[in-house]
Amino acid sequence: MHESDFKAAMAINSSVLAEMEIPNAFLESLTKSGKAEYTTLEIANRIEAAVHIWRQKYLKRHLNHAKAERLSWSAKVKGLGGDTEKSELLAKRADSLLEYLKLRFPGHPQTALDTNKIQYNKDVGLSILESYSRVMESLAFNIMARIDDLLYVDDATKLRATVSVYA
């Protein structure tokens, strides 16, 4: 397996999780308070919550804007699109940051949103695909870790052989 296989498995898993419905249990768990220090998982959870909120704002404003355009010409003049585009841009940037965190910390537990989606999912096909892609992701990560270990030992052995020749 290669790093691209690992990234492909992660992409499949992310894609499947993105298709799953966001459960009400997750929406109700969103808090308004903050802490001074955060772990990587807490940061990822907060980013996912922000992405969801920004996407909801985008969809709501986009629908309202479409209705307003149909109703009156003055809605076009008011420029409702600015905040809508900003929410979508923020959501895309946060998605990129979240993907970076998942790549940087591949052994990290799943986020609260992913856990809730898996727990409350009603689509059997998505459940099977998600669990299969999660297993593939784990296998790819383990194989990559073993390859890195072997390369490290190989480099150390070569270095030791070079030092003993000159000693």
| Single pTM value for the model | 0.56
Measuring CA to CA, which residue among 52, 36, 43, 158 is closest to residue 104? 43
The answer, yes or no, to whether residue 34 has pLDDT greater than 70, is no
Measuring CA to CA, which residue among 162, 53, 16, 40 is closest to residue 111? 40
Alpha-helix residue ranges (DSSP H) falling in 80-123: 81-104, 112-120
**pLDDT for residue 35:** 44
Q: How far apart are CA 19 and CA 130, in angstroms?
A: 10
> What is the number of other CB atoms lying within 10 angstroms of the CB of residue 67?
11
Band of pLDDT at residue 36, cut at 50, 70 and 90: very low
The answer, yes or no, to whether residue 137 has pLDDT greater than 60, is yes
**pLDDT for residue 103:** 79
pLDDT in tens, 47-93: 888 888 888 888 887 777 666 666 555 545 455 455 667 777 888 88
